[in-house]
Structure 1
């Protein structure tokens, strides 16, 4: 991975402002940082999520996310990319992941962040188990996520 791409998978929470500071430290060529943060949603009623458990294939997940981050760096004029994704048991309101894309201009940063999010939702090697009052089930892939990711095919 290039020095301006950071990919981490971890159980512990992260600080979004700290991640932005690390991405932009000592840089004067950055005019835009787009931040997407995924947060565990709860809800109301009997089917409300009470927790998520995220699992991954260590080594493979980092490499695959890194490969897509590097692709974003070549497709858009980016100055840096950071992807941090949590695993383990996550409660409603907790951070799940953050994608940061930095560029001299906002359009590239927005497009690259959207590209990375579509990949993460559709193809990243994570497995998600959802807990509700009614029990626990693995979350199935969604056709909408696959369709969103397919629009970036060359």
Structure 2
């Protein structure tokens, strides 16, 4: 009887994580097509580099960190090519209630998603984003305050 290889296990687990990866990619990119492209890139990279993941810790931490690094690297490349370019994730296209989380300023949407939606601890989420836990806590607080204010504005308009 053959033992399944690590890449087979990663592929199986990767499929289960695709919706979560896409939600996180949306907070980074701000657009569905860019998010889908980022998820495809990270899924391919994870399969190619599956030998680097030793099965210690949570696979999603590794994948989310890989995604954040890839997006940061891509953003640096875009800024070098066109310094006047506005980052897609930072431009709020609309303030519809369904887009409140995606329209949070840079870094805030990801902080909110990782803790309040995905259930990561502050320390895990800070590691995924590559920032200090105290900075992460400040971003999460700012995200929650911004969402609360947006909810209050929406409630006042409906009344």
In the superposition, the TM-score normalised over structure 1's length comes to 0.29
**Counting strand residues as a fraction of each chain, which structure ranks higher?**
1
Asked which structure has the greater CA Rg, the reply is 2
In the superposition, the TM-score normalised over structure 2's length comes to 0.28
**Counting helix residues as a fraction of each chain, which structure ranks higher?**
2
